[in-house]
Amino acid sequence: MSIPLLLREGFITERCCAYCYKTGVPLSRCGRCNKRTFCSPEYQRLDWKTVGHKHWCGVAGEIGHDYEVRDVGDGKGFGIFALRDFSKNDKIMAERPILRAPFLQQAPASARDAVAALVPHGGSLEEKIGRNSMACDDSADGSNGGLFIIMSRVTHDCLGNSIHHFSDRLQVKILVASKAILAGEEIAFSYEPRTSTNRRQR
């Protein structure tokens, strides 16, 4: 079954290929969770085996089903909002970095529109990395950072309602509810060094 896609201002706000972020093509769903979507059987196999979807299939949330990316309003940019209630310790999402430090490579062609839409608008790739990268380990200096297309849109709140950690085994960043989150509530976490490489902006 193909699923319609929506790309607003270059940023993916609904379902896309979970492996390559490709838009504008028919997508098939994971037959097990019926949520995660792919543009090809090859990418579905890679996502299952190398990205680790098999470890959180039906457990972690998926865009367009459990949360959505939408404009916060008042010129504040995009944020992530719950589409259903999350209990404390629920996995909201799991995402692999599209780029990893030392950031010498270019973004994959399928994700360039989404990367380009990150702040600062019109900025270079280096500027976008500087504003949006997140730690891929516990290093205090952020030397092992990564760029995450979806999770970079989570807003800052000193208290927040979620926390995130990087799984070395699965090589993904996992966002977990730190308290109960109601449907419609914006998802937020602290940008302090304990949980990210810098004070990012959306």
Where residue 172 sits, what CATH number does that domain have?
2.170.270.10
How large is the average pLDDT for residues 63-67? 89
Residue 197 domain flag: no
Evaluate whether residue 200 is within a structural domain: no
* Burial label, 72 (beta-carbon count in 10 A; 0-12, 13-18, 19+): middle
Residue 71 located in a structural domain: yes
Residue at 201 is within a domain:
no
d(CA 20, CA 50): 13
Q: Name residue 41's amino acid.
A: P
Instruction: Look at residue 82 and tell me whether its pLDDT is greater than 90.
Output: yes
- pLDDT > 70? residue 163: yes
Q: Is residue 196 part of a domain?
A: no
Looking at residues 182-201, what average pLDDT do you find?
Answer: 71
| Ranges 54-68, 122-136, 151-165: which has the least confidence | 122-136
Name the domain count of the chain: 1
Q: Is residue 138 one of the residues assigned to a domain?
A: yes
Beta carbons of 140 and 131 less than 8 angstroms apart: no
State the residue range of the domain holding 46: 7-189
Mean predicted lDDT score pLDDT of the chain: 82
In this predicted structure, what is the pLDDT of residue 119? 80
User: Is 52 part of a structural domain of the chain?
Assistant: yes
Is the residue at 174 inside a domain? yes
Report the length, in residues, of the chain: 202
